[in-house]
A and B are shown apart, each in its own frame.
Chain A
Amino acid sequence: MRREPPQRLRDYAPIAWSGTMLGVFFLIPFATMIAVSFFHRDPGAFYTPGFELANYQRFLTAFFAGILGFSLFLAILVAVLAVAIAFPFVWSLVRLPRRAQVGWLIAILSVLSLSEVIIGFAWSTLFSRTAGLTNLLVLIGLLDHPIALTPGFGAVLAAMVYQALPYTVLVLYPALARLDPALTEAARTMGANPVQAFLTVVVPTCRNTIVATLVIVFVFALGSYLLPQILGRPRQWTLSVIITDQAIYQSNMPFAAAMAVFLVVVTLAMVGLAARLGRREGAQ
């Protein structure tokens, strides 16, 4: 059936319904949040309507700059680690028979869908003194007595990479599954070993995919809202954690909304930057 422009009014019915739902329940809430970010905080109620920039002025402190810097640093680190682990993994996955791929994909999807609450709980157990990894080290004689590995930066990082890894795999999967399997054959016949062929042929070919994936995973990691809170110390709290904390526990909706608007701007700026980099690279 050919695609035609909508002619009669009833041709618009399907998109009118979907568009209305998304407009009323996504666009308007989003706009509401932006409006609230200019409201005045009322300690008694949530807020009183108004227009002030006070909530945004609070960004201009060293304390807030520190949180923002740490959030960006952590998200970049998570993205780099997740892509570094996932890329070779997916490359080896797509060359398995389809049956074996399906098994892995089910496992990856199951971990991907895990609640951040459950991931946080699982890693706090794995890093705990009584049930954790260090008991294993005691068992083989590397440690005298088990220790707790949480709270700490390492625990936050490990859990966030764990959370981002399945997502990274699924972002890379379509791109690598479409790559020509003969890609490395030339290098192999010229005498390169598999690792050399991978590093000198596959990785450079996929440079654009890798950059795009880094950005997507970076944005995903920026959104982690519970893991730094469950597994870290307050100084490891990220922007997403602080937003949740301000909105729920401090009941300061206007400030939380202002930070959320700021987070959107940072996110869009990063995505835009990456798109531009990708285009420039593609033009060369």
Chain B
Amino acid sequence: MIGRLWRLCVGVFLALPLIVVAGVSINQQQSLTFPPRGLSLHWYAQIFTDPGWRTALLNSLWLATAAATLAVAIALPLAWFLWRRVAPWARLVELLGVAPFILPPVITALGFLSFWSITGLYGQLWTAAISHGIFFTTLPLVTLTLGFSAIDRSLAEAAATMGADDRQVFRTIVLPLITPYLISGFAFVFVLSLNEYIVSYMTVGFVMETLPIKIFNALRYGYTPTMASVSVLFVAIAAIIFGLAAWFGNLPRLLGAPEEGKH
């Protein structure tokens, strides 16, 4: 009873700002009023018709895809090595993969800013993709480590006894088993990269606008309803992607709960 009430309060607290933003996003006029006056989906169309917002959307989608691909490409070999080999020193590399996510983001961002400016590459668009890929490596690393720990070693052992080499074991046994974890790791990076502000701002903020950068720049000059509609779009994208992750995978398990019925 009390538990339900508490959950309700937390739910209201989490939903309240989003409800107001969804409300102002359907205002007829370009004014910040709630409850909305008049009803219009005009500000949603604006995301795709206004060249500035559309470019920012495409930039964000490109960056998120590249970052997620790179993060998975770094995390997968590392997680495989940690599972396959006995090498205590490899934990140091694992620590490097987790560190960017534990440190305050400003620090990682500032590190990238100094690095890219000293190497003379500052402002190149691909530097943002590398920066995001490194920044978010932690996420697929965590999901993949979990995925590897769930693999029954005797399966791979059997294949090895039958003469399969490492590459064949990886392709035929390991990869199919960890694919759900691979996909959810990719999805996590994709969504978080889409929303990330400080690293993209400090690496390519002066030459390229992603959606969060565009929203912040617009926010400094006042209010346009498009930022509300973009925010709603982002919440929707996140909910859909995590919903799919839950549909195809086991979300409680992925977030660290034990197998159902086991304690």
Contact with B along A241-274 (1 / 0, CB 8 A): 0011001100001001100100110010000000
For this complex, 11 residue pairs linking A to B, each with C-beta atoms less than 8 Å apart, are A19-B78, A36-B114, A110-B235, A114-B195, A115-B197, A118-B234, A121-B219, A178-B258, A179-B263, A194-B1, A260-B106
**Which B residues lie within 8 Å of A132 (CB)?**
20, 34
- Check A234 for interface membership: any CB of B closer than 8 A: no
CB-CB under 8 A for A22 and B96, given A1-B169, A32-B115, A102-B246:
yes
Quote the shortest CB–CB distance from A95 to chain B (angstroms).
Answer: 8
Select which of B86, B201, B238, B258 is within 8 A of A109 by beta carbon. B238
Quote the shortest CB–CB distance from A263 to chain B (angstroms).
Answer: 6
From A52-60, A62-70, A86-94, A205-213, give the one contacting chain B.
Answer: A86-94
Which residues 92-121 of B have a CB within 8 angstroms of A?
93, 96-97, 99-100, 102-108, 110-115, 117-118
Q: Across the interface, do A22 and B192 meet the contact criterion of CB distance under 8 Å? A: no
CB-CB under 8 A for A165 and B13, given A18-B78, A101-B252, A131-B32:
yes
A95 CA to B104 CA, complexed, in Å: 33
Chain B contacts to A: CB under 8 angstroms: 1-4, 6-7, 10-11, 13-14, 16-18, 20-21, 23-24, 31-34, 74-75, 77-78, 80-81, 83-87, 90, 93, 96-97, 99-100, 102-108, 110-115, 117-118, 130-131, 134, 137, 153, 156-157, 159-160, 169, 188, 191-192, 194-198, 201-202, 205, 212, 215-216, 219, 227-228, 231, 234-235, 238-239, 242-243, 246, 251-252, 255-258, 260, 263
Q: Across the interface, do B242 and A89 meet the contact criterion of CB distance under 8 Å? A: no
Quote the shortest CB–CB distance from B60 to chain A (angstroms).
Answer: 10
Quote the shortest CB–CB distance from A251 to chain B (angstroms).
Answer: 11
Max count, chain B CB within 10 A of own CB: residue among A104, A118, A125: A118
- Check A126 for interface membership: any CB of B closer than 8 A: yes
Q: Across the interface, do B85 and A125 meet the contact criterion of CB distance under 8 Å? A: no
Max count, chain B CB within 10 A of own CB: residue among A4, A21, A123: A21
**Which B residues lie within 8 Å of A25 (CB)?**
115, 130-131, 134
CB-CB under 8 A for A247 and B110, given A4-B85, A117-B216:
yes
Max count, chain B CB within 10 A of own CB: residue among A108, A130, A131, A177: A131
A111 CA to B106 CA, complexed, in Å: 20
Quote the shortest CB–CB distance from B3 to chain A (angstroms).
Answer: 3
**Which B residues lie within 8 Å of A88 (CB)?**
3, 6
- Check A143 for interface membership: any CB of B closer than 8 A: no
CB-CB under 8 A for A177 and B252, given A113-B195, A131-B20:
yes
CB-CB under 8 A for A1 and B160, given A22-B96, A25-B131, A105-B246:
yes
Q: Across the interface, do A28 and B115 meet the contact criterion of CB distance under 8 Å? A: yes
Least CB separation from A240: chain B residue: B106
Q: Across the interface, do B251 and A130 meet the contact criterion of CB distance under 8 Å? A: no
A225 CA to B31 CA, complexed, in Å: 28
Select which of A26, A28, A135, A257 is within 8 A of B110 by beta carbon. A257
**Which A residues lie within 8 Å of B255 (CB)?**
105, 170, 173-174
Q: Across the interface, do B17 and A123 meet the contact criterion of CB distance under 8 Å? A: yes
Select which of A1, A181, A222, A240 is within 8 A of B157 by beta carbon. A1
Given contacts A6-B87, A126-B17, A230-B219, 19 further A-B contacts (CB under 8 A): A4-B86, A11-B85, A32-B115, A85-B13, A91-B3, A107-B11, A110-B242, A120-B219, A121-B228, A125-B32, A174-B255, A178-B258, A179-B263, A223-B104, A223-B106, A225-B105, A226-B216, A248-B202, A248-B205
- Check A137 for interface membership: any CB of B closer than 8 A: no
**Which A residues lie within 8 Å of B13 (CB)?**
85, 162, 165
**Which A residues lie within 8 Å of B102 (CB)?**
219
Which residues 19-58 of A have a CB within 8 angstroms of B?
19, 21-23, 25-30, 32-33, 35-36, 46
Q: Across the interface, do B242 and A109 meet the contact criterion of CB distance under 8 Å? A: yes
Q: Across the interface, do A162 and B260 meet the contact criterion of CB distance under 8 Å? A: no
- Check A15 for interface membership: any CB of B closer than 8 A: yes
Max count, chain B CB within 10 A of own CB: residue among A29, A35, A121, A173: A29
A112 CA to B110 CA, complexed, in Å: 23
A126 CA to B260 CA, complexed, in Å: 39
- Check A2 for interface membership: any CB of B closer than 8 A: yes
Quote the shortest CB–CB distance from A228 to chain B (angstroms).
Answer: 12
**Which B residues lie within 8 Å of A257 (CB)?**
110, 114
A81 CA to B77 CA, complexed, in Å: 39
Q: Across the interface, do B114 and A177 meet the contact criterion of CB distance under 8 Å? A: no
CB-CB under 8 A for A248 and B201, given A14-B80, A113-B195:
yes
Quote the shortest CB–CB distance from B15 to chain A (angstroms).
Answer: 8
Q: Across the interface, do B137 and A22 meet the contact criterion of CB distance under 8 Å? A: yes
- Check A180 for interface membership: any CB of B closer than 8 A: yes
Quote the shortest CB–CB distance from A151 to chain B (angstroms).
Answer: 13
